[in-house]
Amino acid sequence: MKKVYFDNSATTPLAEELRDLILGSYLEDFANPSSIHSLGRAVKKKINAARSSIAAVLNAEAKEIKFLSGATEANNTVFGLLDYDLIITSPSEHASVIEAAKASRKPIIWLNLDKEGYIDLAELEKHLSENQGKLILVSIMHANSEIGTVQDLKSIGHLCKQYSAIFHSDCVQSLGKLKIDVKDLNLDLVSASAHKLHGPKGVGLLYIGRVAERMQKFSPLIVGGGQEQGFRAGTENVTGIIAFAKALEISLRPENINKVKELRAKLWLGLKDLKGAVLNGALDLEKRLTNNLNISFMDLKFNSEQLVLQLDLRGVCVSSGSACTSNKKKFEDSFIESSYVLRACHIDENIAKRAIRISLSWMNDETELEKLTEIITKLV
Ligand code: PLP
C-alpha cells in the first residue's frame, strides 16, 4: 500500500524534477570548488549561480547567502557568531534555537505567547526599550513548525531597527511558501533548509545581511578552511546547493503555491465540523502557514501518538508535533509528552495531548485528502 504522506513539515519527498539534476551533478560537478583549475572554477560558478538565484528570492545580495549543512547548523551559527549582550526569543522556537540560545550562556528573555502562538509586540518593545545600550539579538521564527502561526515579521523587524537590535528569523517552514523580503522585513539573519521544500537533506543556508558590517570579529561554528567567505569551513555540498536553488524555484511556482492553499482549505472544510475538532494555532487560516493544520479531536479516545499510529495503520502519515521533541514525560498510560509549543501557548493539557499536525505539500492530491477525511470521520 502506497502511504499517504502528510508530514511535510518534518521533511518532504524529493521533487521528481531533481532526480536527473542531482544524479548528473554528482557525476559532473565532482571537482573541488576551491580548486583554481577550470573544472574547479566551473563548479564554483554553479554554486554561485545557485547563491544568486536564492538571494534574488530573498531580495538579498548573493554574497550574503552562506551555505551550510542545514537549519540546525544555521541556528547554532547565529548564536555563536557575534558578541551580543542579550537574547530575546520565544518558547515556541525550534529546539535548535532554544538549545543554542541556552548554550550561549547569555541572558535570555522569553517572550509570552497568546493562545494562537503570537508574540506580543508591545512586550517585545518594552524589553527592547528597557535594554537600550545593550546589543540585543532577537530571534523569532517566521512560521511555527507545529501550529503554523505566522509571526508579524514586518513589525518585529521595524522594532528591531528602531532599537538597533539584531533580528534573526528561522524561516525553515516559510521559505518556498511565504514571501520573505529581507530588506522589507529588516532581517539581519535568516535560517533555512532545503529538505523542507522538496530539496535534498544536508544543505541549508544562513543569510547574513547588514549585521556583517557591525561585526569586528565573528566566530564561525566550523573552522579549518576559507569557504563561504570564512563563515563556514569545509568543502561545499555542491550538488545539494544546486538542488536547493532548483527546489526553491519549483516551490515558488504559482501553481504549486496555490495548490497547497487549495488543498489545505479543502481538508479543513472536511474536518472542521467533525464533533470535537479543535484547531490549534492561528485561527485565521489566512495568517497561518499555508500547508499546516494542527487539530485535536476531543471525541476520540486516542492521544496524539496513538492517533498518529492509528492513521499510520490505515496508510496515512501525520505527526504528533515536532519531529525533534525530546525529554518525554509520562502521560496517562502511554509514554508521550504534549507538545512544548502548545504548552507555551497555554493550551489546555487535554487539548494539547490530542493534537496532531497535518502538513501538506504541492505533491499531495485530493484523493489523499479524501482518504484522510474519511478515516478520521469514521474514527470520530
Ligand atoms: N527550524 C525549524 C522551524 C524546523 O522545522 C527544523 C526542522 O525540523 C529545523 C529548524 C532544523 O532544520 P534541519 O533539519 O535542516 O537541521
Running along the chain, 380 residues long, what does each successive block of 10 average in pLDDT? 95 98 98 98 98 98 98 97 95 97 97 98 98 97 98 98 97 98 98 98 96 81 94 97 98 98 97 97 96 97 96 97 49 59 95 97 98 96
CA distance 273 to 275: 6
Hey, what amino acid is at 270? G
* CA angle (6 as vertex; 4, 12 as ends), nearest 5: 100
Sign of CA dihedral 104, 109, 114, 115: positive
Backbone angles phi, psi at 367, to 5 degrees: -60, -40
Task: Calculate helix-pair angle for 304-313, 366-379, nearest 10 degrees.
Answer: 120
Residue 203: how many other CB atoms lie within 10 Å: 26
CA of 162 to the centre of ligand 1 (A): 29
Name the residue among 192, 130, 184 with its Cα closest to residue 161: 184
Name the residue among 323, 338, 337, 340 with its Cα closest to residue 10: 323
Name the residue among 226, 188, 236 with its Cα closest to residue 208: 188
**Do the Cβ atoms of 199 and 205 come closer than 8 Å?**
no
The reply to whether 324 belongs to the active site is yes
Mutation test residue for ligand 1: of 72, 89, 175, the one with most atoms within 8 Å of CB: 72
The predicted pLDDT at position 257 comes to 98
Residue 40: how many other CB atoms lie within 10 Å: 14
**Do the Cβ atoms of 145 and 191 come closer than 8 Å?**
no
**Do the Cβ atoms of 320 and 336 come closer than 8 Å?**
yes
Residue in the block written with cell 543554542: 100
Alpha helices in 38-70 (DSSP H): 38-58
Q: Is 145 in the pocket of ligand 1 (CB under 6 A)?
A: yes
**Do the Cβ atoms of 70 and 77 come closer than 8 Å?**
no
**Do the Cβ atoms of 194 and 69 come closer than 8 Å?**
no
Q: Read off the pTM.
A: 0.95
Q: Is 221 in the pocket of ligand 1 (CB under 6 A)?
A: no
Residue nearest (by alpha carbon) to ligand 1 atom 7: 10
Residue nearest (by alpha carbon) to ligand 1 atom 12: 71
Alpha helices in 104-201 (DSSP H): 121-130, 153-162
The predicted pLDDT at position 327 comes to 40
CA atoms within 13 A on the CB side of 206: 27
**pLDDT digits over 284-309, tens only?**
999 999 999 999 999 999 999 999 99
The predicted pLDDT at position 329 comes to 43
CA distance 138 to 125: 11
CA of 301 to the centre of ligand 1 (A): 31
